[in-house]
Amino acid sequence: MRTTQPLVRFCLTATAAALPLALAVPAKAAPGISVSTSGSTVTVTTSACPTMDANSSFGRASLLSSGQASFAQGRQATLSGSSTTQSAAWANVSPGTYTVIVMCNNGSTAGTQSIIVSGAPTPSRTPTPTPTRSISATASPSRGVMGGFGGTAKEYGTLTVVGGGVLVAAGLGTTVWYLRRRAKPHRL
């Protein structure tokens, strides 16, 4: 009596069902937000809130420090700009780790992102432009998956995800082949 047939059928069915999912091109993700810091100023930019209200505002953004859990607890700023790009800024932000949340006028969340503020640059005697350090990341990956160690994150594209899917399919195929070969009686 051969009991490997149901297992083989299951593996082949699962592989056939998973392969189109791995090869599918992901849908375009929402624009999200981009947060940057320059000294003690934090700026958030988005294009996800194109509708302006009667107060000429596109929405609100909130800067939450550690220990603050809701939008209302943070330092709030009004989103201004145009229907294509909206932004808000906070000045004199103390060094630390913060979370920025952007809410559009329609009540939807445009995005959430963490940022580290290292502090104000040392003032110089000659008026020179201060270097800007920008940290951009999205709350969720636009394509593929995000991976990294500690505070780093890297977004893996479609090609990497497809390559991983092919390796998984090859591994399943090899497993099925091995189990089928092992189940056959050996003739001398």
The model's pLDDT over 62-92, given as tens digits with 9 standing for 90+, comes to 999 888 888 888 899 988 888 888 899 999 8
Structure tokens of 135? 């940290």
Band of pLDDT at residue 1, cut at 50, 70 and 90: very low
Q: Is residue 91 part of a domain?
A: yes
Q: Is residue 6 part of a domain?
A: yes
Query: Are residues 152 and 174 located together in one domain of the fold?
Result: yes
By residue range, what is the domain housing residue 25? Answer: 1-29+141-188
Residue 63 has a pLDDT of 92
Query: Is the per-residue pLDDT at 152 higher than 90?
Result: no
Query: Are residues 52 and 90 located together in one domain of the fold?
Result: yes
| Residue with tokens 């000294």, as numbered in its chain | 39
In terms of Cα–Cα distance, which of 161, 183, 145 is closest to 3?
A: 183
Query: Are residues 37 and 25 located together in one domain of the fold?
Result: no
Cβ 174 vs Cβ 11: under 8 Å:
no
Query: Is the per-residue pLDDT at 104 higher than 60?
Result: yes
Amino acid at 10: F
H helices present in the chain, as ranges: 4-23, 158-183
Q: How many independent structural domains does the chain possess? A: 2
Q: Is residue 182 part of a domain?
A: yes
Q: Is residue 134 part of a domain?
A: no
Return d(Cα 53, Cα 65) in angstroms, integer. 28
Provide the whole-model pTM: 0.48
